[in-house]
Amino acid sequence: MRPPKDQGLFLTVFVGICMTVILGLWIALPVHIKLVIEGEEPPDEESAPQPLALKPAVTPEERIAQMEQALGLAQAAVKELEKQTNPGEKTGEAGANQKGQSKPGETGSTKKGSSP
């Protein structure tokens, strides 16, 4: 076989024909093959499955109420955890000690590394 004189045109026509055959088979065969394998007739329009019903939209008021309820539960859980971790301390004393204030028995003039 001799090479064509215009190879670009030959390649374009060859690819175009191949794509047409592939697309034709791709569109036509899946429906027919499935029906032949299962041995069924094509479904009627009336027996086709109905689309699912949509859920009603959520209003902003409902969503806010849900978020407030979740926030209240979270706050209650945090308070319960604080009570479990610090059963003997009051929240005011723990906050004062964490801020770097001195304890009642300490004096402010003593520093580490200084001699008396």
In tens digits, what is the pLDDT along the chain, a chain of 116 residues? 788 889 999 999 999 999 999 998 888 776 656 555 666 666 666 666 667 777 778 888 999 999 999 999 999 999 999 999 887 766 555 444 555 555 555 555 554 555 55
Is the CB of residue 25 less than 8 Å from the CB of residue 33? no
* Residue showing tokens 């979740």: 70
SS3 at position 32 = helix
Q: How far apart are CA 43 and CA 49, in angstroms?
A: 10
Number of helical (H) and strand (E) elements in the chain, helices listed first: 3, 0
Domain boundaries, the chain: 9-42
**Encoded tokens for 11:** 């390649």
